[in-house]
């Protein structure tokens, strides 16, 4: 129903009863709670991406860089460098950090990135902090210009250094035919022993396999037997028999390529584990089921019971 303007002031604005009721109903409708509109799927996806971006950005603020992990939850290492499983170094704040990537380690320690040298299978490093010999992953030596170079091939290392140890000042050069070794541990003079070591190192990362003789997995004595077979040395299959086939030595006589043995009861017949010594208190081993062939460090809590030279 419509209203009629009679000329009285405000008459056109005064609704009739029916219209007033309708208007009241409208007002009631206006105060009902409004149902929220659910965002579209695209909007929800965009919101999720935004939240992830915020989280990632926040992580970047406290991160320590690609390929690097903080050492806060782990005990501090004894020194910088390779510990058998990772490279340790200190950041600009003096905090310990580690990485499994050698190029990241070199970049963070100011060594610069490694590059190919003039000869095959060799590399260079631009700064000090390294020593001639095996460092756990490669052989280091200085060329005729006094520049550091490295190689993963023992025969190349021997050809470049004469197989000798560095002088006390750290400079390179050949020594007399009777000397051997380096600051990282004496290098066995027998090329066959080094071939055995290199074979064992080439198996790193393969799984422990009970009674395994390779090529897909090994147990401790299987790895040792197969490694020394490549070096022309025939050893028995079982760890305690392998010790019986070696020449017993003391810790002070240890050199690269010697064997380490562990006996829970301390007897020779009780020997149950064997590993190959690498130098610098490190050894390569097939430890136990559930582990991979790895490089480990000699510790007072797990010290070899016997040592022998094949």
Any idea which residues carry the catalytic annotation? 220, 273, 285
Burial of 149 (0-12, 13-18, 19+ CB in 10 A): buried
Distance (Å, whole) CA 15 – CA 33 = 27
The CA–CA distances, whole Å, from 257 to 125, 142, 199, 213, 246 equal 27, 24, 11, 19, 12
Pairing of strands 294-297, 306-309: unpaired
Nearest to 240 by CA among 277, 284, 270: 270
Burial class (CB in 10 A: 0-12, 13-18, 19+), 110: exposed
* 72 burial via Cβ count (<10 Å: 0-12, 13-18, 19+): exposed
Of 298, 284, 304, 181, residue with least CA distance to 243 = 304
Distance CA 247, CA 307 (A): 8
Q: Which pair of structure tokens corresponds to residue 174?
A: 């050949």
Per-residue buried b or exposed e for 216-237, using 16+ beta carbons within 10 Å of the residue's own CB: ebbbbbbbbbbbbeebebebee
């Amino acid at each position: 129903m419509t209203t009629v303007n009679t000329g009285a002031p405000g008459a056109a604005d005064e609704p009739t009863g029916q219209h007033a009721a309708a208007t009241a109903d409208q007002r009631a409708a206006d105060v009902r709670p409004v149902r929220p509109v659910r965002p579209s799927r695209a909007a929800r996806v965009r919101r999720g991406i935004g939240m992830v971006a915020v989280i990632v950005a926040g992580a970047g603020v406290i991160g320590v860089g690609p390929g690097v992990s903080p050492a806060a939850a782990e005990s501090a290492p004894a020194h910088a460098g390779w510990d058998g499983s990772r490279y340790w170094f200190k950041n600009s704040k003096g905090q310990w950090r580690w990485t499994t990537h050698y190029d990241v380690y070199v970049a963070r320690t100011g060594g610069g990135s490694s590059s190919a040298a003039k000869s095959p299978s060799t590399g260079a490093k631009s700064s000090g902090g390294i020593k001639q010999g095996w460092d756990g992953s490669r052989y280091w030596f200085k060329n005729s210009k006094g520049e550091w170079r490295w190689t993963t091939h023992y025969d190349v290392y021997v050809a470049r250094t004469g197989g000798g140890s560095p002088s006390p000042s750290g400079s390179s050069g050949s020594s007399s035919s009777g000397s051997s070794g380096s600051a990282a541990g004496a290098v066995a003079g027998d090329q066959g022993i080094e071939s055995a070591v290199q074979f064992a190192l080439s198996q790193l990362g393969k799984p422990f396999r009970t009674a395994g003789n390779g090529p897909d997995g090994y147990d401790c004595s299987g790895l040792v037997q197969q490694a020394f077979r490549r070096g022309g040395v025939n050893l028995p299959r079982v760890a305690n028999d392998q010790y019986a086939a070696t020449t017993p030595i003391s810790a002070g006589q240890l050199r690269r390529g010697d064997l380490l043995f562990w006996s829970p009861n301390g007897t020779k017949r009780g020997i149950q584990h064997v590993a190959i010594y690498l130098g610098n208190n490190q050894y390569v081993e097939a430890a136990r089921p559930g582990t991979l062939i790895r490089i480990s460090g000699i510790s007072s809590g797990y010290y070899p019971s016997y040592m022998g030279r094949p």
